[in-house]
Structure 1
Amino acid sequence: MAELGKNLGDDKVKTACHLAFKAHECQDKTFLEEKRGSDVIIFAFAGSWSADEWFTAAGGQAFGEAKIDPEQFPCLRSISNDELANVNQAFLSKFVEIIEKSTLKKKVMKTFNDGKRQIIFTGHSAGGPLAIFATIWLFEQLRSKRGVQPSSTSHTCLTFGSPLAVDHIFCHAVRRENWSDHFMHFVMRHDIVPRIPLAPPSSTMGGALHEILSFFNPSARNLHVGDSTLALEFFVNVMRNASCVATHAACTLMGGTNMLMDTISGFIQLSPYRPFGTFVFCSTNGRQLVVKNPDAVLQILFYSLQLNSEMEVSGAAKYSLYAHLAYEDEIIKNLGRQSVDCFDTLGEIPLNSCDSIDPQIIVTDETLNDFGLSARARLCLRAATEYEKQKAANLSKMERKKRIMKDAMTELESYRSDCEARGGYYDSFRKNQYTEDFQANVRRLELAGVWDEIVEMLKRYELPDEFEVQKEWVDLGTEYRRFVEPLDIANYYRHLKNEDTGPYLERGRPKRYRYTQRWLEHSGQKPSGSCGESVFWAEVEELRMKTSNRQPFAALKQKVDEIEKNLKEWLREGTVKKDAFLQGSTLVKVWTELHRLNPTEVQDITGFTRCSS
């Protein structure tokens, strides 16, 4: 069972599957729990057979998606790009209702506090997304309130036939936090349900989805749906939309310039939902394919349900519904068998079945054939694999530039020391009177080029997901921001760019500083904007101009108080250096003038350094 998760065993998966189906049959409760010995407790969520609880029209989004609440799920975002994850609003609302109104929260936290049991969340069908959100909720609780890194726990989520319910940013965030291995999703090759969210509700809601769900409803099961024209049309519609999503994703992976796909995506909105975690695809003959690469999972979801001819469509539509109810039988029968293949270790993917004598290629080819993966599918899988390799290559490229970056920072550190005799680091560079100032500007521009290259990769998600939380890069980015951003601010105001562009903080601040500041705030679990020690010079410059323009002090008081409070803290921490308080510096001049005008409300500048001593 090692291939399917180091913290699991076959018996735990079977027990979780059994309880998930028991919850499926028990619609009068939102979740069931079962203790297994003294070391495991399983919480299983019941699904829903109401179309309104699969997709909601609220918010006007075509696929019923909504951005997560950053207060409730602060990790579910892109740190650098500051983008929140989108999830299925109906499923999320159902989970929030459960956590707020049921005993689940109390029971889960009691189990964790006891510290004796592994917690497993599970669900079949629409119960799957609830199990996912419950697991993320627990990990967020542990991270923010307990100081526990969820990656070091054994708590797990197991889903069976779960519909897709989250977007690519959710996947990125979970991989970044090292939570991905805690999620395992079992999918029968022919099960249509995991693919349903790839089609817009507008094309499935008009009675069709309600009728399809009635096939799965244990209290009102309508088996005639499987033989109906409606089931056939539903199957074709879902797979047609899945084709658009998979093809567009494959073109993006390959870096192609398919004008037709660009045109289609311009007026046809594609589903935002994407896979994440570990997927275990189950074939009809008992073979299991374990896939962690989310781009590969998306391609397999589409291509493994492709048909050889139109004659097969009717039978496939019916079987795609029955497959959704077959998990418990298949898991019990096949789990633990030796026919488990891990996609990451398959090696080179042959584009066609061949007569190769290489044992590895033969095994790979047999596995791909078992899941009906055509030459086109295999090409897409190759692209997914190469895309991950390219991310690693991009990281290696940046790693090789670290030495250059650190050397430039060392030169700036020496420059900073020399500036103490010339009025301070900031003001010396702002005046730009010496050769050393010119050389410092060259280093500033060199570093900007490297960091802007990193920013562009992050904008396109072309670096490994964990990049923005790696301690060495967080530390390097923080050091860079504190050393170099004051120089950017000095350059900005020396050239009067504020008169054309506006205040630095509003219109002039480069992304390289915004990104690295967010890294530090995330790693330290600090509020957004709290690590602004590198931009206080821009705030001082704006105060300087406002006092020169005789703005009333009442309009400035809140900002003055904020800067005073922050400067004292940053001086104590050492993140702002005392050379900022040298006689004649911009800061001293501004604060001396403010104190002269308002001695009762503005502190004497000499009091700052005394407070920090």
Structure 2
Amino acid sequence: MKVERDSVKLSLTNELINDACIHSMNANNHNQDYVVTTSSSMDVLIIAFKRSMAVNDLYDDDHFGEINVESYMFPSLQRIGEGQLAKVNRPILYKFMNLLITSGFKTEMKKAVKESKKILFTGHSSGGAIASLATLWMLDEYTRKQNIRLPIGCVTFGSPLIGDGTLTHAVRREKWAGHFTHFVMEHDVVPRMMLAPKTSIQDHLPNILEFFQQRVDPDDVDPDQAREFFENVLINASTVASHDAFDLMEPTNSLKERLSTDFIKVSPYRPFGIYVFCTRAEDLGANAPRQQLVVENPNAITQLLFYFLQLPNEDQDLDQFALQSLTENFSYEQELNNNGLRLENLVYLKNLNKELWTSNGTSSEAVRTSNQALFELNASAKWCLLAAEEAEKRKKDNENHIKESMRKYKSNQTKNKAKIIEDLLDEVRNYKQKHGDGENDYYEAFKLQNEYNDFQANVNRLEQAKIWDVIIEMVMRKDLPDEFEVWDELVVLGTCFRRLYEPLDIANYYRHAKGEGYLSYLGVRPKRYKFTQRWYEHMNVTGFELVSESNFVAQVEDLITTVEKPQAEDETIEQVKYDLESIANKVNEWKCDEKIGNEDVFWGDAILSKLKKKLP
């Protein structure tokens, strides 16, 4: 059963943004961790989370304090093929988990879903981080697991980063990025502070976070502490931006990985969702309305988080600018009152290579005036933004090339073309069908290799393996779009490939396995089958099975080897009988789940009978 992947985004309006900002600020004055209310103009349930700027609520004892997400809570937040879980900020994750366990939040959400409510999560500063986790949990719990299409949105104001690049990848893969809108003031230091390790800012953290928590008078802040805190955040933001820019421009260079691993630990935290940068061009004056620049490319967002934080000119007083970066975290409500946070002010930054270099190079007056702050960026910033855009284009080109290799050519067109995936699949289907009524099924025939068509099937197997190994390598190198692994045609073809060819790989493995020291096939199973299996299981929202409908014959081969050992003990034989019964039960389960019954599935009648005959 294929699950509907497209979630329902909550359509934002000026009224909703207004309510989100007001309620997120008001939540900071309440005793409870979150406040539930209803939008004044729309029937939308608003859950506003209170910020907490205590050191222990943001920073752990580790360098950056990241931890793997809990897979039972956020099963989608991972790289599917590798099974690599996303990492998030540990204190923020634990705070949200505590909300689920001890408060009435879970009950509130269950009631809202039952009543088909539209839901908007919001928060200011660290409250926005909790709002983001709550949104991710709702999308996984209800949209993915239960296939409930409920309008859900998240709007944050000055929220710190909470997750790594794997989380960013997963959000884009699931098409969830549009659920998140993050408003960030140009110089607000809070959205950048997780780019700095705790060790670099820990001397100033208690006083700085106390400033954010109590919103004390800026004149009471030690200018030296504010400056040193700001400088450390800026330096580490520069390191992250340079690291990612190098990765964009030299994606296959291993030097970057060695430098990152051996010499410096870079912050794992990266942005996800849609960012709205509230900027102001210097020549327009301090009282001019801010420009709302909307950026969706996460690599471009990372660059802008750094470049917008830099001093606008050499004459700028550093102490004053550092203090401004602290106080800007409190300016969202003021910006709202100045009619700044409004949809009609938003300008989407796309096609940067066409419009980035000069403000006069566009025919759109709106783009020309609203992009003024972007045009004032230095050349390095512009090159990094262009690299971010070109990286996405390169990934898309790679995907198109793979798609082309999957399309079936007509027979009269294939004479001068290499065979491609669907052609090879058809050939092995014919091979399997030919042996369907014979003395040996296609598994046993391939293992014996007695006929010429067995040899041809082996050549076919090697050609398919090469194609899929290249695809898997590109996925692991992140050379393909984030949504590639959930592309329907890929999952379907990958599943057909796995079910048809993995038995042949297993037959080939045990045909050549010699002596006592060989490993079980399941211990050396190729990535091309692990990945394609995980893609299928993710699409159908099922857990990963080590022994699956395409590889259980390997377990049968291992049992046969065990039985054939001289003087096998009675206890061992009994265990083999138990394991055989378990396999038979699994086969019946797969039949009920319609995994077996498809013409592409091999379910091992002959080899199961062979094992039964060898048992006393």
TM-score clears 0.5: yes
1:169 paired with 2:170, answer no
* Separation (CA, whole Å) in 2 of partners of 1:432 and 1:260: 47
Percent same amino acid at aligned positions?
Answer: 38
Q: Which residue number corresponds to residue 477 of structure 1?
A: 494
Q: Which residue number corresponds to residue 112 of structure 2?
A: 111
For residue 561 of structure 1, report the CA deviation from its aligned partner. Answer: 2.5
SS of equivalent residue, structure 2 residue 37 = strand
Of 533, 541, 551, 1:535 maps to: 551
* Separation (CA, whole Å) in 2 of partners of 1:264 and 1:137: 31
Change (3 A) 1:571 1:135: closer
Q: Which residue number corresponds to residue 187 of structure 2?
A: 190
* Separation (CA, whole Å) in 1 of partners of 2:107 and 2:375: 43
Q: Which residue number corresponds to residue 349 of structure 2?
A: 343
Q: Which residue number corresponds to residue 270 of structure 1?
A: 266
Give 2:104's aligned amino acid.
T
* Separation (CA, whole Å) in 1 of partners of 2:602 and 2:250: 49
* Separation (CA, whole Å) in 2 of partners of 1:260 and 1:294: 20
Q: How does 1:356-367 map to 2 (within 5 A)?
A: 356=360, 358-359=362-363, 363=367, 367=371
Is the CA contact (8 Å cut-off) linking 2:549 and 2:603 kept in structure 1? no
1:296 paired with 2:292, answer no
Where structure 2 has 5 or more consecutive residues not aligned to the other structure, the ranges are 1-8, 281-288, 409-419
* Separation (CA, whole Å) in 2 of partners of 1:390 and 1:25: 48
Is the CA contact (8 Å cut-off) linking 1:424 and 1:580 kept in structure 2? no
SS of equivalent residue, structure 1 residue 533 = coil
* Separation (CA, whole Å) in 1 of partners of 2:259 and 2:334: 44
Of 8, 18, 39, 1:36 maps to: 39
* Separation (CA, whole Å) in 2 of partners of 1:498 and 1:222: 78
Give 1:334's aligned amino acid.
G
For residue 223 of structure 1, report the CA deviation from its aligned partner. Answer: 2.8
* Separation (CA, whole Å) in 2 of partners of 1:579 and 1:95: 45
Q: Which residue number corresponds to residue 4 of structure 2?
A: none
SS of equivalent residue, structure 1 residue 49 = coil
SS of equivalent residue, structure 1 residue 592 = helix
For residue 527 of structure 1, report the CA deviation from its aligned partner. Answer: 1.9
SS of equivalent residue, structure 1 residue 348 = helix
1:248 paired with 2:268, answer no
Q: Which residue number corresponds to residue 377 of structure 2?
A: 373
Q: How does 1:508-523 map to 2 (within 5 A)?
A: 509-523=525-539
Q: Which residue number corresponds to residue 526 of structure 1?
A: 542
Q: Which residue number corresponds to residue 521 of structure 2?
A: 504
Is the CA contact (8 Å cut-off) linking 1:51 and 1:205 kept in structure 2? no
Q: Which residue number corresponds to residue 477 of structure 2?
A: 460
Q: How does 1:181-260 map to 2 (within 5 A)?
A: 181-206=178-203, 208-218=204-214, 221=216, 223-255=218-250, 257=253
For residue 339 of structure 1, report the CA deviation from its aligned partner. Answer: 4.0
SS of equivalent residue, structure 1 residue 401 = helix
Is the CA contact (8 Å cut-off) linking 1:31 and 1:43 kept in structure 2? yes
* Separation (CA, whole Å) in 1 of partners of 2:512 and 2:257: 45
TM-score by length of 1: 0.89
Give 1:344's aligned amino acid.
K
Q: Which residue number corresponds to residue 131 of structure 1?
A: 131
SS of equivalent residue, structure 1 residue 272 = coil
**Deviations 1:235-280 (CA, angstroms, capped at 9, x unpaired):** 0000101111110000000017595885365221110000000000
Is the CA contact (8 Å cut-off) linking 2:73 and 2:141 kept in structure 1? no
Q: Which residue number corresponds to residue 564 of structure 2?
A: 548
Give 2:132's aligned amino acid.
I
Change (3 A) 1:488 1:264: closer
Change (3 A) 1:110 1:545: same
Q: Which residue number corresponds to residue 314 of structure 2?
A: 309
For residue 7 of structure 1, report the CA deviation from its aligned partner. Answer: 0.5
Q: Which residue number corresponds to residue 325 of structure 1?
A: 330
Is the CA contact (8 Å cut-off) linking 2:35 and 2:49 kept in structure 1? yes
For residue 49 of structure 1, report the CA deviation from its aligned partner. Answer: 2.1
* Separation (CA, whole Å) in 1 of partners of 2:89 and 2:533: 30
Q: Which residue number corresponds to residue 142 of structure 1?
A: 142
SS of equivalent residue, structure 1 residue 217 = helix
Q: Which residue number corresponds to residue 603 of structure 1?
A: none
Is the CA contact (8 Å cut-off) linking 2:550 and 2:602 kept in structure 1? no
**Deviations 1:480-510 (CA, angstroms, capped at 9, x unpaired):** 0000000000111111168665111012x10
Is the CA contact (8 Å cut-off) linking 1:303 and 1:377 kept in structure 2? yes
Change (3 A) 1:422 1:396: farther
For residue 312 of structure 1, report the CA deviation from its aligned partner. Answer: 3.3
* Separation (CA, whole Å) in 1 of partners of 2:53 and 2:277: 24
Is the CA contact (8 Å cut-off) linking 2:20 and 2:155 kept in structure 1? yes
Change (3 A) 1:439 1:239: same
Q: Which residue number corresponds to residue 489 of structure 1?
A: 506
* Separation (CA, whole Å) in 1 of partners of 2:257 and 2:224: 30
* Separation (CA, whole Å) in 2 of partners of 1:275 and 1:225: 32
Is the CA contact (8 Å cut-off) linking 1:405 and 1:447 kept in structure 2? yes
Change (3 A) 1:261 1:502: closer
Q: Which residue number corresponds to residue 53 of structure 1?
A: 57
CA RMSD of aligned residues (A): 2.4
Of 401, 425, 428, 2:445 maps to: 428
**Deviations 1:346-365 (CA, angstroms, capped at 9, x unpaired):** 552544x47x5543599469
* Separation (CA, whole Å) in 2 of partners of 1:454 and 1:264: 26
SS of equivalent residue, structure 1 residue 121 = strand
Is the CA contact (8 Å cut-off) linking 1:47 and 1:124 kept in structure 2? yes
Change (3 A) 1:145 1:249: closer
**Greater helix share, 1 or 2?**
1
Is the CA contact (8 Å cut-off) linking 1:394 and 1:463 kept in structure 2? yes
Which 10-residue stretch deviates more, 297-306 or 309-318? 309-318
For residue 323 of structure 1, report the CA deviation from its aligned partner. Answer: 0.7
Give 2:611's aligned amino acid.
V
Is the CA contact (8 Å cut-off) linking 1:188 and 1:282 kept in structure 2? yes
Change (3 A) 1:108 1:478: same
* Separation (CA, whole Å) in 2 of partners of 1:180 and 1:493: 46
Is the CA contact (8 Å cut-off) linking 2:192 and 2:233 kept in structure 1? yes
* Separation (CA, whole Å) in 2 of partners of 1:94 and 1:494: 54
Q: How many equivalent pairs are there?
A: 576
* Separation (CA, whole Å) in 2 of partners of 1:9 and 1:87: 30
Q: Which residue number corresponds to residue 560 of structure 1?
A: 580
For residue 21 of structure 1, report the CA deviation from its aligned partner. Answer: 0.6
Give 2:428's aligned amino acid.
L
Where structure 1 has 5 or more consecutive residues not aligned to the other structure, the ranges are 598-613
**Deviations 1:56-102 (CA, angstroms, capped at 9, x unpaired):** 22xxx320111011011111111111100000011111111112111
* Separation (CA, whole Å) in 2 of partners of 1:545 and 1:272: 46
